[in-house]
Amino acid sequence: MSNEPTDNTEETPAEPTSDESQVPTPEPTASDATHHDEQEASGPTPTEQVHRDFHEPMVASGALIVDDVPLASQGNPVRSLWSTRISLLLVAALVGGLAGHFSSSSSGNDGITINSVNATPAGAVLPSGLSIPKLVNKVQPSVVSIDVKGSGEEDQGTGMIITSNGLVVTNNHVIAAAVNGGTITVTETGTTKSLKATLVGTNPIDDVALIRINKVKNLPTVTFGNSNALVAGDAVVAIGNALGLAAGTPTVTSGIVSALGRTVTAGTSTSSETLDNMIQTDAAINPGNSGGPLLDSRGDVIGMNTAVAGTLSDGTSAQNIGFAIPVATIESLLKTLKAGESIVNHGAIIGVEISSMSPELQAEYGFSVSYGAVVMSVISGTGAAKAGVKQGDIIVGINNTAVNSAQDVSSIVSALRPGDQISLKIIRGTKHLTLKVTLGTEPKTS
């Protein structure tokens, strides 16, 4: 790619001296969370299921973070900034069959004078000038509820229609039960009819999948926005099949972008996944929202709702912290998914937490380039730590491939295996370095 820097000034990094300054930083906190698909199974009642899933024990990665001086290698620590590696619990919320019936009664008001009006309530207005009800009416027809059956399980989630002939993007964990022969059905907003769908392509590494609704045409579609232009504080709206209460009638919540560039790790005793460069939001995201859109104030999709923080290690519940995959990441995967390819995760890692370069990061720390993947932290004992990678390094190339974003790093490494050695091209301050890094495996959760 044209943005890859030349290697004319490459040099081998010097071994750190004994008097190199070390700045202690506080231990990062870890929380667990759930992906937001719904799952039905025999066993506890719906009420018991909800209680259990929102009070699962914490699963922490156990990986120590080293080199915690914020972006120290760039020599411009303007103010404290650190990336939190959040350990998530990969658990489907078992609330199948849950239905709500609400009723109330009132006595007569003879002899009582009540002030009343017949005016229509006004919807909240977003910074774009569009009210939330109008935004919802614009986007909801392009949102579908998804039901998946397979391997004795039933999962429920959300999807977004991206083509008029029925291609729908959603989370991989929503459709995972159908990978080995299960069934997928979708319900369009405003309808009750279930339509059959076919799995097209899967990407467990980035938790994105593509399905196609069979025998349809002229469907309304979502519009992708610019997730790279987001800043903390931007208004957002989330739409999805929350709690699986009623297919075809999505739940709507609103909030703001509360942070960008988060790295979160989800895992069970048998599998785990690390998602980089996630959008953090305080818009309420619940089980069933997985695969649904996170919208900007114009109604354009800027993310796909995927997970929410749950319970902290001390038993305290996290509040209003959800995560969405940036739409820029999703767009980069669509060509491969449409081709029907399924990505296999060999479990290789460099050993760094990364975030795509952004104008905000560049301005804050005076980075010399506007592209690449910024190393937010380095995991001790990994290939990156042993090779001398430092927090604040900017990854601009791996082997002979240029790196423009965190997604590029994930895509390249996903095709490699633990034990493979890579040439990691980085920019550190004004220096261009090439480090030899041996790939390792994701630390097991415990």
Using left for φ > 0, alpha for ψ between -120 and 50, and beta otherwise, residue 429 falls in: left
Q: Which range has highest mean pLDDT (59-73, 81-95, 99-113)?
A: 99-113
How far is CA 241 from its chain centroid?
A: 17
Question: Which one is catalytic: 155, 207, 276, 296?
Answer: 207
pLDDT (tens digit per residue) in 258-293: 998 888 865 444 455 778 788 999 998 888 888 999
Residue 405 appears among annotated catalytic residues: no
pLDDT (tens digit per residue) in 67-91: 444 566 666 544 333 334 444 443 3
Question: How many Cα neighbours within 13 Å face the side chain of 170?
Answer: 40
Average pLDDT, the chain: 75
The predicted pLDDT at position 266 comes to: 59
Residue 234 appears among annotated catalytic residues: no
pLDDT (tens digit per residue) in 144-158: 999 998 877 788 899
Question: Which one is catalytic: 87, 272, 290, 297?
Answer: 290
CA distance linking residue 412 with residue 400, whole number of Å: 11
Which string of b and e fits 291-322 if b means at least 16 CB within 10 Å?
bbbbbbbbbbbbbbbbbbbbbeeeeeebeebb
Q: What is the pLDDT averaged over residues 316-322?
A: 79
Q: Which fold has domain 132-213?
A: Thrombin, subunit H (2.40.10)
**CA-atom Rg of the chain in angstroms:** 23
Question: Which one is catalytic: 35, 36, 173, 432?
Answer: 173
**Which residues on adjacent β-strands are paired with residue 39?**
155
Residue 296 appears among annotated catalytic residues: no
pLDDT (tens digit per residue) in 182-223: 899 999 988 888 899 999 999 888 889 999 999 999 999 999
More confident residue, 18 or 408: 408
Please report which confidence band the pLDDT of residue 313 belongs to, taking 50, 70 and 90 as the band edges: low
* Own/partner pairs, 19-26, CB within 8 angstroms, 24+ separation: 23/68, 23/69, 23/72, 24/68, 25/68, 25/69, 25/82
Cβ atoms of 433 and 73 within 8 Å: the answer is no
The predicted pLDDT at position 277 comes to: 83
The predicted pLDDT at position 345 comes to: 62
Q: Which range has highest mean pLDDT (65-79, 304-318, 405-419)?
A: 405-419
Please report which confidence band the pLDDT of residue 300 belongs to, taking 50, 70 and 90 as the band edges: very high
Please report which confidence band the pLDDT of residue 101 belongs to, taking 50, 70 and 90 as the band edges: very low
In the numeric block, which tokens belong to residue 407?
């997604």
**Which residues on adjacent β-strands are paired with residue 349?**
440
The predicted pLDDT at position 443 comes to: 60
The predicted pLDDT at position 92 comes to: 32
Q: What is the pLDDT averaged over residues 173-177?
A: 88
Please report which confidence band the pLDDT of residue 348 belongs to, taking 50, 70 and 90 as the band edges: confident
Q: Is residue 397 scored above 90 in pLDDT?
A: yes
The predicted pLDDT at position 94 comes to: 23
